[in-house]
Amino acid sequence: MSADQLKLLLYMKTMFSDLIYINSIIATELVKITENLAAIRHGEDFLEKSSCLTEHDKLNQEIINILDKYNKTSEDVIRIERLRKHVLKHQGEIK
Say if CB 75 and CB 67 are below 8 A apart: no
**Residue 95 domain flag:** no
Q: How many domains does the chain have?
A: 1
17, part of any domain: yes
| Residue 13 falls inside a structural domain | yes
CA atoms within 13 A on the CB side of 95: 0
In a domain, 59, yes or no: yes
* Full pLDDT tens readout for the chain, 95 residues: 899 999 999 999 999 999 999 999 999 999 999 999 999 999 989 988 999 999 999 999 999 999 888 887 788 888 889 999 998 888 776 65
In-domain check, residue 65: yes
Cα dihedral value 45, 49, 50, 51, nearest 10: 130
Give this prediction's pTM.
0.82
The radius of gyration computed from the CA coordinates of the chain, to the nearest angstrom, equals 17
Question: With contact defined as beta carbons under 8 Å apart, do 61 and 27 qualify?
Answer: no
